Amino acid sequence: MSHISQIYDIDLKLLRCFCTIVEERSFTAAQAALNLSQSTLSENLKSLEIRLGTRLCRRGPKGFKLFREGEVVYKAAKELFASVEAFKQKASNINQNTVYELSIGIQDGIVENPSARLHDAIRRFSDYYPNVRFRMEVMLGFQLAGRVADGMLHVGIGLVNEHYAQLTYEHLFDEQGFMCCGNRHPLFAVPEEELTMAAIESAAYCSRGHLEYYHPERTRRSDTCGDIGLGIQSQLALILSGRNIGYVLDHTAQPLIASGALRALRPDRVRIVNPITAMMGPAAADFKLARQFVDCLIDVHMELGQSRLLPRPDYATGCGTVVDRDGVFRVLSTAKAPAYAGA
């Protein structure tokens, strides 16, 4: 690998392209994320490899594979970007009137929740800091937590993630979901009085893939391990197809239940309650604007009163996390399975 004596803006651009390719594990997905053509993305990667004097990854018909040199460059690039972001944050604290950009990540399925007051928080924050520009992106939960932990996002809004102990969380509100099936699933036509917990437990279960804590035992059993839906909409499509049952958030499920496309399976017995939080990494915690935005999020959701909190099921959910009475989060080392009583 060649010795680089100076880092230029173009190097940062090439490195960001490379990091996106690695994180997406696919050139096609990286094209969409960066809004670049395949030829431009390939040329950027080739230019970076020439600059560094080594191949970083394999691409082509055999698929994507990151070489050892690529792993080293990816890790170093992430550290570089985190350092640049930390500098920008500290510099912005000098003068609050400086035009600055606040990067916010939101887990999919949250914006449309009736209990979410993100728009109110944005408006309130903007009244205090009109010169700040927002950069917002909706993403999957595991992507969100990783980018907040890496310092690529100032604030994340989503579920607690026990894999990143360095993150801090502030409880905003609760979301609720029910186990559902589509109208083509065999359980859809079973009369309510005949629908047993055993039948629900033995059905193929569509998980959310990464960080699946709701029913980890289902994803390990071949008879109940169904499809994987990375994202709320992907999971919903699989459930509606009739191939699987799975959790659907209440605000998403109700219109579909009313139209006859979906059925909640024993909603009196099977449900989840997830605490939605505002999360920050160690670097962002020292960034005044990030702290102020989180304060705005807390304030507007506190104004909802007790309606923002939902009764807890008899088992731990929400990515293996429970919320204690005093509002302090306690992350479980292992998720608890549902405690079903009776049929």
3-state helix/strand/coil string of 261-327: CEEECCCCCCEEEEEEEEEECHHHHCCHHHHHHHHHHHHHHHCCHHHHCCCCCCCCECCCEEECCCC
pLDDT tens track for 219-250 = 445 566 788 888 889 999 999 999 999 999 99
Output DSSP code: residue 336: P
Quick one: average pLDDT of 12-34? 85
Q: Is the pLDDT of residue 217 over 50?
A: no
Angle ∠(108,114,118) on CA atoms, nearest 5: 65
Q: Do 198 and 265 contact (CB within 8 A), yes or no?
A: no
Say what the pLDDT of residue 201 is: 85
The least confident of 174-188, 237-251, 256-270, 283-297 is 283-297
Classify 248 as helix, strand or coil: strand
Provide the whole-model pTM: 0.65
Parallel, antiparallel, or unpaired: how do β-strands 329-331 and 321-323 relate? antiparallel
Q: Do 241 and 184 contact (CB within 8 A), yes or no?
A: yes
Range 272-305 burial, b when 16+ CB lie within 10 A, else e: bbbbbbbbbbebbeebebbebbbbbbeebbeeee
Is residue 325 very low, low, confident or very high in pLDDT (cuts 50, 70, 90)?
A: very low
pLDDT tens track for 26-60 = 888 888 778 788 888 888 888 888 888 888 888 87
Residue (of 322, 141, 296) closest to 232 by Cα position: 141
Query: What percent of the chain lies above the pLDDT cut of 70?
Result: 80
Q: Is the pLDDT of residue 4 over 70?
A: no
Please count the CA atoms within 13 angstroms of the CA of 182 that sit on its side-chain side: 15
Say what the pLDDT of residue 95 is: 55
Q: Is the pLDDT of residue 207 over 60?
A: yes
The least confident of 89-103, 209-223, 303-317 is 209-223
Quick one: average pLDDT of 122-144? 91
Classify 341 as helix, strand or coil: coil
The least confident of 40-44, 53-57, 208-212, 292-296 is 208-212
**Given phi > 0 = left and psi -120 to 50 = alpha, else beta, which region is 266?**
left
Q: Do 102 and 289 contact (CB within 8 A), yes or no?
A: yes
Q: Do 277 and 263 contact (CB within 8 A), yes or no?
A: no
d(CA 123, CA 296): 9
> Alpha helices of the chain — where are they, by DSSP H?
9-24, 27-34, 38-52, 68-92, 118-128, 141-149, 197-202, 216-220, 232-240, 250-259, 282-285, 288-302
